[in-house]
Amino acid sequence: MSSNSKITVSKIAAGAGVSPATVSRVLNHRHLVKPETIEQVENAMKALGYSIPEHKITAPREEPVIILNIPNINNLFYTEVIQGATMSANSHGCHLLINQSPLDHGSFHGFCSLIRRVNAAGVIFLNQVPSELLHQINQMVPVIQCCEYNQDADLPYVSIDDCRAAMKATEYLIASGKNKIAFINGPLSFKYAMERQRGFLTAMSNADLSIPKSWLIQLPEVNYEMAYAAVCQLLTSEVVPGAFFAASDMLAAAAIRAAKRYHYHVPRDIMVVGFDNIDLSAMYTPSITTVSQPKFQEGFSSCEMLLEKIANPDSATRSILFDTELVIRESTSTNSGAI
């Protein structure tokens, strides 16, 4: 027996013909060591019967960390987008971490310090960020905007054509024989809200339909209770709409609930269309007809684009607008077994 005592870094180093420092590096900062040297050291370890403790094994290179920023995790919409981005990141051996920050002027400093602190390789924003902040961050690391974006910033984004999608949905309601359609929306400060409203109004005007101003419901935030209250109020006035188009599924759910309260049958008396196709829309009773956007795909592509930009900072990255699809469910379909 050569050495029966404890296995030390120095002994491994001697066996591998390198310095103890190098062995220590293989153990702790593997990416600093040349692959062939790592192999030498690992052979020496094996010869001594040493196995590296599992939690000490580090990646052969410093894995990039990507920050995906969301304004508020309390929104069902994001989960599938995040799944897509995570899938992409993991398949490239990257870490994807989710940060929650409004990314306004107040939180900007903290966000920058986060980027530096974790040495992030890039950022995906799911919220609209003011141009000047976006540019400052883009000077530190590559940036991609996903779903909600700031067109002024001239930075790449992955999203859908909200206006066209809203037009299609409105046209569907009109084609279903409805001409008294109310629109429920959240704050117009969101680009998507603005665009969806524009699509709705364009489709209505194209069909020569006009509606009272009060049917363009404008909520101060995307909130179930508020939407429920607003729709209840509308349903107790003299003229009642024959359909609601909501800029998000949760608002559509609130409209359905309100309609039921006043004993309107959905879809016979009142049709309801939502937007986004979140899980809730299939689970609701009746299930909700909605504009489906490819959330997973959007997240996935954002991350792919970002990784491309990280690997090749000067490549011209082109923005993407995905197609949407109208998913017909019980809240508009008279021949399904809606309750």
Partner DNA sequence: GAAAAAATATGAAATGTTTCAGAAAAGATG
Partner DNA sequence: CATCTTTTCTGAAACATTTCATATTTTTTC
Asked if residues 217 and 234 have their Cβ atoms less than 8 Å apart, the reply is yes
Q: How far apart are CA 21 and CA 24, in angstroms?
A: 5
Q: Which is nearer to its own copies, 228 or 245 (CB)?
A: 228
Name the phi and psi angles at 153, rounded to 5. -70, -15
Q: Which is nearer to DNA, 1 or 339 (CB)?
A: 1
* Residue 253 contact partner, candidates its own copies, DNA, none, CB within 5 to 8 A by sort of partner: its own copies
* Residue 46 contact partner, candidates DNA, its own copies, none, CB within 5 to 8 A by sort of partner: none
Which residues lie closer than 8 Å to 213 by C-beta, 6 or more apart?
A: none
Min dist. Cβ of residue 15 to DNA (A): 12
First CA to last CA distance, the chain = 81
Q: How far apart are CA 196 and CA 251, in angstroms?
A: 14
Strand 289-292 and strand 325-327: the pairing is: antiparallel
What are the residue ranges of helices labelled H in 67-107? 78-91
* Residue 117 contact partner, candidates DNA, its own copies, none, CB within 5 to 8 A by sort of partner: its own copies
Q: Is 220 exposed, middle or buried (0-12, 13-18, 19+ CB in 10 A)?
A: exposed
Q: Which is nearer to DNA, 139 or 189 (CB)?
A: 139
* Residue 59 contact partner, candidates DNA, its own copies, none, CB within 5 to 8 A by sort of partner: its own copies
Q: Could you give the string, one character per residue 95-134, with x where binding to its own copies holds by CB under 8 A and - elsewhere?
A: xxxxxx-------xxx-xxx-xxxx---------------
Which residues lie closer than 8 Å to 148 by C-beta, 6 or more apart?
A: 125, 126, 127, 128, 159, 190, 191, 192
Min dist. Cβ of residue 322 to its own copies (A): 20
Both tokens assigned to 85:
């981005």
| Count of positions on this chain that bind its own copies (CB under 8 A) | 55
Site for its own copies (CB under 8 A): which residue of 4, 139, 189, 335?
139
Min dist. Cβ of residue 163 to its own copies (A): 28
Min dist. Cβ of residue 20 to DNA (A): 4
CB atoms within 10 A of CB 16: 22
Is residue 65 at the binding interface for its own copies, with CB under 8 A as the rule? yes
- The contact set with its own copies (CB under 8 A) reads 53-59, 62-63, 65, 67, 73-74, 76, 79-80, 82-83, 86, 95-100, 108-110, 112-114, 116-119, 136-137, 139-140, 224, 250, 253-254, 256-257, 260-261, 279-280, 282-285, 337, 339
